[in-house]
């Protein structure tokens, strides 16, 4: 379940003040809720979100609860992160992670604290080995803004949060014919922008860490699917209309 919300958050936040997604799994039905609230103006964004799970997802995640807050600025329709915060709890553990983006010195600083049975187990602050203006909020918008009209292919981008995997996030944009087929499988509109993310992360036990997005013309995802999950094959986050 680790970082599950951030991948679902790629769902995101262009023309409304709040969004609600229902998590569903084949045969098991509803597995949780994702709520996103945000404020955006011409040069700044601020986003908060919260994920809760029930049923199988709750069991797989050990009753994990996650919340996020992110803010940054907007330059020529590109989102540039300033501050990204993650808080989580599951079982007898809880954690807090921050990323601070220093544009003057071209540094991204990671601050992390972790507790077990309410006792501090880990605490550090250090710079990442690379600089980027992408976190797991800004990257969604930047993918849609820069790649939705480009030819099918594979793209790579540096993202804060991917530092344990060299910093690189792999994005695959599908050819139109394949995209329409995938959209149909997802129950999305055939004209949605379809792309894959290869996260390397074991989201809900996913063997591949592969996440599929179907994004409508307003830039909001209709469906996000995490695949290769034990017992259920996949879990979808579906926009509640």
Mean pLDDT score, 196-216: 78
Q: Which residues contact 140 (CB under 8 A, 6 or more apart)?
A: 9, 10, 11, 12
pLDDT above 70: percentage of residues in the chain: 89
Q: Are 136 and 77 in contact (CB under 8 A)?
A: no
Q: Do residues 47 and 104 lie in contact, with contact meaning Cβ atoms separated by under 8 Å? A: no
Q: Are 15 and 5 in contact (CB under 8 A)?
A: no
Q: How confident is the model at residue 206 (pLDDT cuts 50, 70, 90)?
A: low
Report pLDDT digits (tens) over 79-115.
999 999 999 888 899 999 999 999 999 999 999 999 9
- Name residues whose C-beta falls within 8 Å of residue 181's C-beta, 6 or more positions apart in sequence: none
Structurally, how many domains does the chain consist of?
Answer: 1
Give 111: exposed, middle or buried? Use CB within 10 Å, 0-12, 13-18, 19+. Answer: middle
Residue 13: per-residue pLDDT: 45
Band (1; pLDDT cuts 50, 70, 90): very low
DSSP single-letter state for residue 11: G
Q: Higher model confidence: residue 136 or residue 10?
A: 136
Q: What is the pLDDT of residue 186?
A: 95
CA nearest neighbour of 85 among 137, 38, 34, 36? 137
Look up the pTM and report it.
0.85
Q: Is residue 241's pLDDT more than 80?
A: no
Which pLDDT value is given to residue 201? 67
Per the CB < 8 A criterion, the answer to whether 56 and 232 are in contact is: yes
Q: Which domain holds residue 137?
A: 4-239
pLDDT digits (tens, 9 = 90+) for 166-193: 899 999 999 999 999 999 999 999 999 9
């Amino acid at each position: 379940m680790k970082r599950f919300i951030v991948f679902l958050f790629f769902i995101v936040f262009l023309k409304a003040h709040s969004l609600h997604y229902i998590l569903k799994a084949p045969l098991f039905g509803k597995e949780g809720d994702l709520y996103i609230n945000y404020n955006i103006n011409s040069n700044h964004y601020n986003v908060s979100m919260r994920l809760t799970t029930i049923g199988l997802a709750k069991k797989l995640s050990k009753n994990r609860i996650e919340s996020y807050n992110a803010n940054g600025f907007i330059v020529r329709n590109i989102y540039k992160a300033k501050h990204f915060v993650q808080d989580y709890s599951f079982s007898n553990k809880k954690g807090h992670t921050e990323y601070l983006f220093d544009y003057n010195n071209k540094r991204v600083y990671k601050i992390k604290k972790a507790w077990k049975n309410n006792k501090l187990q880990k605490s550090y602050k250090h710079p990442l080995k690379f600089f980027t203006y992408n976190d797991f909020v800004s990257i969604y918008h930047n993918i849609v803004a820069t790649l939705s009209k480009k030819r099918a292919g594979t793209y790579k981008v540096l993202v804060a949060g991917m530092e344990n995997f060299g910093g690189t996030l792999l994005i695959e944009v599908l050819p139109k014919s394949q995209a329409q087929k995938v959209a149909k499988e997802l129950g999305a509109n055939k004209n949605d922008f379809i792309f894959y993310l290869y996260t390397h992360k074991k989201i809900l036990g996913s063997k591949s860490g592969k996440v599929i997005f179907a994004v409508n013309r307003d830039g909001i995802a209709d469906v996000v699917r995490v695949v290769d999950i034990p017992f259920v094959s996949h879990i979808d986050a579906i926009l509640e209309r």
